Amino acid sequence: MAPIVRVRVSGPLACFTRPEAKVERMSYDLPTPSAARGILDSICWRPQMRWHVRAIEVLRPVRTIALRRNEVQSKVTVKGKTGVTGWMADPAGYVPFAAGAGSEEGTPRATLALKDVAYVIEAEPMVFDGSGDNTPQKYAAMLTRRVEKGQCHIRPCLGCREFAADFCPPDPAERPIAESRDLGRMLYDIIFDPEAGNTPVFFQARLANGRMETRAEEVVADEALRRRVLACSYRH
């Protein structure tokens, strides 16, 4: 049996955007399993393993806040004078997109975000390459050690990059909220396939006494789809 790890994450703002509301963003009430996996990947990731999120516990009541921000309409390209290569060639002369009022690229957009959030992510490591010392115990210990020291590869975020997440070991005395309700269909993860394209996988989410179960064997009924989503990682 794979070892189970638990990580507490929190922050003043979060937005786990519903795919049907990408322009005027509206957050799910809870982190999606893929968002929780991304947080763990930010702390400890290796190409020969993947974090399987078993459950997410909600430590604070779900509260929303409406934000309105100036954003840009276009994406920065990779090549060309206005792209990343242009910035690398001439950082001083590069003119970035401006999101402020009066800018041609600027556009005001609304976001319905979450505020004052705190969760416990419960997960287990799945190892693709079991040769040598590549064991689930190794990666569970590695994540636990990094969480205790506050180490990460990149700063974890709560949905949007600008909503940074704090992380630490969970407090055994801190309990989930006493709330149970259906959360509707939620994104579980995305199967990235260079040939067949990207396939989103959804599940019927439910909060039971402040805990949302996300084990693939319980929430993804199709066995073939479950194998594909659990085999997916960043190894492309």
Count CB-CB contacts under 10 A for residue 44. 23
Q: Which residue has the tokens 């459950």?
A: 55
Q: Answer for the pair 10, 95: CB distance below 8 angstroms, yes or no.
A: no
Q: What is the pTM of this model?
A: 0.87
Tens digit of pLDDT for each residue in 33-83?
A: 999 999 999 999 988 889 999 999 999 999 999 998 877 776 777 777 777
Query: To which H or E segment does residue 127 belong?
Result: strand 106-127
Count CB-CB contacts under 10 A for residue 16. 24
Per domain, the residue ranges of the chain are 5-66+111-231, 68-108
- DSSP, res 215: -
Q: What's residue 173's pLDDT?
A: 95
Q: Tell how strand 106-127 and strand 25-26 pair up.
A: parallel
Tens digit of pLDDT for each residue in 207-223?
A: 999 999 999 999 998 88
Tens digit of pLDDT for each residue in 97-116?
A: 666 655 666 678 899 999 99
Name the percent of the chain in helix, strand, coil, to the closest 5: 20, 35, 45
Mean pLDDT rounded to a whole number for the chain = 88
CATH 3.30.70.2660 fits 5-66+111-231, yes or no: yes
Please state the rounded mean pLDDT for residues 123-130.
86
